[in-house]
């Protein structure tokens, strides 16, 4: 198969292209100056040249591929009858609300079963499900290299580590709302606090906690710019804003408690507000530093972004693929794919996460064996070379 790969500097692009090539595909990359999601004459002209290329009387390329979904790419693929494969790793990913998502040329894969069902129930039949993947070959070699490094070159050794965004910035939209009626805000804040204490159940789709009336009232005070280019479900956007606020709170609160009891570090984006007792070590790059952090930290935490309702976060797979030990909040699909206490460790409340951290810091052999089994399972079931044949099948 000949794949035209849209490269937008996504962090996992080279891993995916490497796997495609090892599967025997020809992969040619293309970069485009995409401005928003409009189709410009320049973009159309560039892609048209690739789409019209032929060999032996047939189209040279079998499909256009991208991580995440780009409506303008789908529109052009539809116009020139080119299959478009999109594997979405962001959640939420509101470009899926574009009317172009239903284009017949699309094969869109999302890693969250609840999101997949939601989109299919909306009538978008081009949406399919696949978990996310890792490059097992690259990481196996990197792990071997790390294990052979001398003690004088070993870095990133931490007791407790969280690598991820705190979202206490411009992406925390709830705290930017200028006004809510006091009774409404008080109630929503109580639900947010309750949600922080519960892993694995989403209160914002639970009618016993948040009713449609609550969401309708919030929409009176939280306004959106409506361009007409998307068929947005603004009620879902409101729920995601509340989920993001929960994520902001619980990541800070859990890390604060971790910092009070353990040697705890944080790798995150610039501008994050300090957390007392937690050492912020800045950004770790995906290819080299991050696997080292995961492999050498005794405890890696996964505190899932709450807009991921059921899927296995890429962070969990990345930790395990690097041979790292992970304690994660309970999530439906994590429990489907992995065995608690054998491949990884699941926590059911923030307090449970803290107590299990204390336990596994004292049980090195048990912790290391779980990490070993977890890495093996991820390599067997979540490698790109295992998942891509389905992704690229165009069925």
Q: 289-304: per-residue pLDDT in tens?
A: 999 999 999 999 999 9
Residue with tokens 């794919």: 337
Cα torsion 87, 90, 94, 95: sign = negative
Mean predicted confidence (pLDDT) in 343-361: 98
Mean predicted confidence (pLDDT) in 89-113: 96
Q: How confident is the model at residue 163 (pLDDT cuts 50, 70, 90)?
A: very high
Q: How far apart are CA 156 and CA 159, in angstroms?
A: 10
pLDDT of residue 155: 67
Q: Per-residue pLDDT tens for 28-78?
A: 999 998 877 778 888 999 999 999 999 998 999 999 999 999 999 999 999
How many other C-beta atoms are found inside a 10 Å radius of the C-beta of residue 155?
A: 10
146-150: which pairs have CB atoms within 8 A and are 24 or more residues apart?
146/291, 146/292, 146/295, 146/296
Is residue 383 over pLDDT 70? yes
pLDDT of residue 173: 87
Backbone phi and psi for residue 10, each to the nearest 5 degrees, phi listed first: -65, 145
pLDDT of residue 154: 57
| Rg from Cα positions in the chain | 22
- Average confidence score pLDDT of the chain: 94
Instruction: Give the tokens for residue 108.
Output: 């869109």
Say if residues 310 and 334 touch (Cβ distance below 8 Å): no
Is-same-fold flag (2-130; 136-381)?
Answer: yes
Mean predicted confidence (pLDDT) in 183-190: 96
Residue with tokens 């969990």: 316
Say if residues 390 and 332 touch (Cβ distance below 8 Å): no
How many other C-beta atoms are found inside a 10 Å radius of the C-beta of residue 18?
A: 16
pLDDT of residue 230: 73
Yes or no: domain 136-381 corresponds to CATH 3.40.50.300: no
Any idea which architecture 2-130 has in CATH?
3-Layer(aba) Sandwich (3.40)
Mean predicted confidence (pLDDT) in 157-164: 95
pLDDT of residue 340: 97
Question: Under 8 Å CB-to-CB from 255, ≥6 apart: which residues?
Answer: 162, 264, 266, 275, 278
pLDDT of residue 152: 52
Q: How far apart are the first and last CA of the chain?
A: 14
pTM of model > 0.85: yes
- Which of 169, 183, 168, 174 shows the shortest CA–CA distance to 222? 174
If phi > 0 it is left, if psi is from -120 to 50 it is alpha, else beta; for residue 270 that is beta
Is residue 150 over pLDDT 60? no
Domain map (residue ranges) of the chain: 2-130, 136-381
């Amino acid at each position: 198969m000949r794949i035209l790969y849209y490269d937008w500097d996504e962090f996992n692009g080279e891993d995916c292209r490497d796997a495609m090539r090892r599967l025997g595909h020809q992969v040619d990359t293309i970069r485009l100056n995409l401005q928003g999601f409009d189709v410009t004459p320049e973009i159309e002209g560039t892609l048209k040249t690739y789409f019209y290329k032929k060999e032996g009387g047939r189209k040279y390329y079998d499909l256009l591929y991208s991580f995440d979904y780009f409506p303008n790419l789908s529109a052009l693929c539809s116009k020139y009858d080119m299959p478009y494969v999109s594997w979405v790793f962001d959640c939420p990913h509101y470009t899926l609300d574009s009317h172009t998502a239903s284009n017949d040329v699309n094969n869109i894969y999302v890693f969250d079963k609840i999101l997949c069902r939601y989109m299919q129930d909306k009538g978008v039949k081009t949406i399919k499900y696949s978990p996310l993947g890792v490059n097992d070959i690259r990481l196996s070699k990197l792990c071997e290299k790390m294990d052979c490094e001398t003690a004088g070159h070993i870095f990133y050794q931490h007791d407790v580590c969280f690598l991820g965004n705190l979202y206490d910035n411009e992406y925390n939209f709830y705290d930017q709302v200028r006004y809510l009626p006091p009774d409404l805000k008080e109630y929503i804040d109580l639900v947010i606090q309750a949600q922080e204490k519960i892993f694995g159940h989403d209160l914002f789709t639970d009618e016993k906690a948040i009713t449609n009336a609550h969401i309708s009232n919030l929409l009176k005070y939280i306004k959106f710019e409506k361009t007409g280019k998307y068929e947005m479900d603004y009620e879902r956007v409101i729920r995601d804003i509340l989920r993001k606020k929960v994520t902001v709170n619980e990541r800070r609160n859990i890390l604060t408690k971790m910092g009070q009891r353990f040697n705890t570090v944080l790798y995150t984006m610039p501008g994050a507000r300090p957390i007392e007792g937690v050492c912020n070590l800045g950004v770790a790059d995906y290819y080299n530093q991050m696997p080292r952090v995961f492999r050498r930290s005794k405890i890696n935490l996964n505190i899932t972004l709450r807009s991921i309702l059921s899927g296995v976060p890429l962070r969990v797979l990345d930790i395990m693929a690097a041979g790292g030990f992970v304690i994660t909040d309970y999530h439906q699909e994590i429990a489907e794919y992995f065995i608690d206490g054998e491949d990884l460790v699941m926590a059911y409340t923030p307090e449970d996460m803290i107590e299990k951290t204390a336990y596994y810091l004292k049980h090195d052999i048990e912790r290391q064996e779980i990490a070993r089994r977890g890495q093996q399972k991820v390599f067997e079931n979540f490698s790109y070379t295992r998942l891509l044949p389905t992704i690229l099948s165009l069925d």
